[in-house]
Amino acid sequence: MEKNIALLPGDGIGPEVMKEAVKVLDAAAKKFKFKINYKKADVGGCAIDNHGTALPDSTLEVCEKSDAILFGSVGGPKWESLPPAEQPERAALLPLRKHFALYCNLRPARVFKSLAAASPLKPEIVKDGFDILCVRELTGGIYFGEPKGREGEGSQEKAYDTLVYSRFEIDRIARKAFEAARIRRGIVTSVDKANVLFSMVLWREVVMEVAKEYPDVTLNHIYVDNATMQLVKDPHQFDVLLCGNMFGDIISDECAMITGSMGLLASASLNEDNFGLYEPAGGTAPDIAGKGIANPIAQILSAAMMLKYSLDQVEAADAIVQAVSSVLDRGIYTADLTGDAASAVGTAEMGDAIAALLA
């Protein structure tokens, strides 16, 4: 097998962790005998600097000609004072998601046994581990709803976003959640705010209708405020969390942190044809960028998800997850995972250790 991957490292820690993901992908390719051709392109702040726009046509073209997109992260203080519409997140990442209709965002949050101590939760809460899949709707909701804008004198008086969901959008993401639950523990918890928002009343109704086609899956509903609380109280109760765009954004950061670090949460953003963009759920981490200490695991696990969902290399994907787990079992931690900074390894050492185990 030979596949073409668009490599979009982006800004901040993006290029640092991407380097390690490529290292691990190369080790996997060697072991499992497939070939990946990488085509690197600028996106985000670095693309603004080099091309004057966050998502140059040349980058979009590289993505269109590829079998999958491996994305780092974009944004940072350098570009925060640009007009909102030109900023990297709004002008690159959201349009990429929309352009490729990547409506299904999968964010798996699993506690690796050896990492129980890294979780900010009490040991008795994490001792039995937990394994949550956050299924987030990614191309609708308040992120994209119209109208959206500002009004009044000098556009200074009022600003608004619109939370809108159509039946079709809710139906298709709900199906993804139920399909996923079927091959997991069989529980979907739909996160909404149906006690306040009309869009969320429809959300709940449509999810209940879809559930009728999946009698083998248990459906629970939870209000988002309660969900954030239950996640820290008893994360084990959850299997698949089904969320709209904004609630999924918030809940997935919480899921990441309770597994030990923001640097652990991988994600896959898929369209109807299983074309995907794969990226860590976290951002460019400006506070640690350039120091060589970022955790590359979220990027590496995102690459593993790419092998599984877009490149049909399930065995190689599983081997990467196994290698990550073994490295952590051996007590090899980046600074975010250990209180003992002196014993922490850097980004490159973590990548080396995972690649070595894989080989």
Stretch (H or E) spanning 19: helix 14-32
The site partner of 76 among Mn ion, ligand NAD, ligand IPM, none (C-beta below 5 to 8 Å per kind) is: ligand NAD
Residue 124 marked as a ligand binder: no
The DSSP annotation for 51-67 comes to HSSSS-HHHHHHHHTSS
Residue 202 marked as a ligand binder: no
Task: Give first-to-last CA distance, the chain, whole Å.
Answer: 19
Whether 323 and 357 have beta carbons less than 8 Å apart is answered as yes
35 is written with which tokens?
Answer: 């070939």
Query: Which residues inside 58-97 make contact with ligand NAD, applying CB under 6 A?
Result: 73-76, 89, 93
Count of residues of this chain found to bind Mn ion when the rule CB under 5 A is applied: 1
Beta pairing class for 268-270 and 276-278:
antiparallel
* Catalytic residue list contains 225: yes
Using CB atoms within 10 Å of the CB of residue 90, give its burial: 0 to 12 exposed, 13 to 18 middle, 19+ buried.
middle
Nearer to ligand NAD, 59 or 73 (CB): 73
| Chain position carrying tokens 């139920």 | 178
How crowded is residue 109: how many other Cβ atoms within 10 Å of its Cβ? 26
Nearer to ligand IPM, 74 or 319 (CB): 74
Query: Which residues inside 132-171 make contact with ligand NAD, applying CB under 6 A?
Result: none
Nearer to ligand NAD, 231 or 262 (CB): 262
202 is written with which tokens?
Answer: 């429809």
* Measured distance CA(330)–CA(38) in Å, rounded: 31
Residues 49, 128, 171, 225: which is the catalytic one?
Answer: 225
* Measured distance CA(157)–CA(312) in Å, rounded: 51
Site string for Mn ion, 217-256 (x = CB under 5 A): --------------------------------x-------
Q: Which residues contact 229 (CB under 8 A, 6 or more apart)?
A: none
Residue 286 marked as a ligand binder: no
* Catalytic residue list contains 234: no
Nearest to 188 by CA among 172, 177, 199: 177
Whether 111 and 126 have beta carbons less than 8 Å apart is answered as yes
* Catalytic residue list contains 171: no
Residue with smallest beta-carbon separation from Mn ion = 249
* Catalytic residue list contains 143: yes
Query: Which residues inside 262-301 make contact with ligand NAD, applying CB under 6 A?
Result: 262-263, 279, 282-288, 294-295, 298
Nearer to Mn ion, 77 or 339 (CB): 77
11 is a site residue for ligand IPM (CB under 6 A):
no
Nearer to ligand NAD, 117 or 359 (CB): 117
Count of residues of this chain found to bind ligand NAD when the rule CB under 6 A is applied: 23
Among 36, 281, 285, 294, the residue binding ligand IPM under the rule CB under 6 A is 281
Residues 67, 239, 249, 336: which is the catalytic one?
Answer: 249
* Catalytic residue list contains 233: no
| SS3 state of residue 108 | strand
Annotated binding site for Mg(2+): 225, 249, 253
Annotated binding site for substrate: 97, 107, 136, 225
Q: Which residues are catalytic?
A: 143, 193, 225, 249, 253
Site residues (vs Mn ion, CB under 5 A): 249
